[in-house]
Amino acid sequence: MVSCGGAIRKGQTLLGEAGGAYPPYLMPKDDKTLVLDGLAYPTMVAKAHFYSDLTDNQAAPLVAMLKPQSIASCEEPIGFGASELTISVYYVLCANDQAPPVFVQERACQGIPALRRKLTWASGHFPFLTEPERFAKDMVETIGSEIARSCFLGLFCLREGGNTM
């Protein structure tokens, strides 16, 4: 299952597939020291890109958990691409996602020969946070497993501050 993600081709880089520049929510420097340290840091606009369909109160703890990402993961070619997947792939295209935008998601779907089904939602980057019951229902129908339902409803409980046990 891929939810609003990219499908990078073997030998390509994340930056190359995204147009060659870092997205505005990720910068390859520490803003306090301006020293390159091999990490790309989340910026202040990360909330607007990742959690645009959550309230500020819902998004705040999630934004606080964002961590730096290695520059190598963005700039070095990958050795295994989505075109090499042999298992069934199901894709949730999120029409209101700001990271990655719809054109990147559409291109990702085109690059997955094992794509079995594409679901299109009018949600942001994390549909399992904003519509967990619908997400779980679609996963159960698509994958045909109660495991998917319990997994994604558990995320809903975490989002609401409940206990999943």
The residue among 160 and 25 whose pLDDT is bigger is 25
Closest CA to 94 of 111, 112, 74, 109: 109
Residue-wise pLDDT for 27-84, tens only, equals 876 555 445 678 888 888 888 988 988 999 999 999 999 998 888 888 899 888 888 8
Mean pLDDT, range 11-18, rounded to an integer: 84
**Picking from 12-26, 119-133, 138-152, which range would have the lowest pLDDT averaged per residue?**
138-152
Q: Which of the 8 DSSP states describes residue 161?
A: T
pLDDT band for 160, please (50, 70, 90 cuts). Answer: low
Q: What percent of the chain has pLDDT over 70?
A: 79
pTM over 0.75: no
Alpha-carbon distances of 114 from 55, 100, 138, rounded to whole Å? 36, 21, 19
Residue 75, classed as helix, strand or coil, is: helix
Mean pLDDT of the chain: 80
Sheet with 26-27, strands from edge to edge, namely: 26-27, 39-42, 69-70
* Alpha carbons 123 and 138: distance in angstroms, whole number: 14
Q: All domains of the chain, ordered by start, with CATH?
A: 2-125 (3.40.50.1820), 131-165 (no CATH)
With tokens 């340290």, the residue in question is 37
Poorest-pLDDT segment among 11-25, 42-56, 97-111, 140-154: 140-154
Q: What is the pLDDT of residue 164?
A: 46
Q: What is the pLDDT of residue 57?
A: 92
Higher pLDDT, 127 or 160: 127
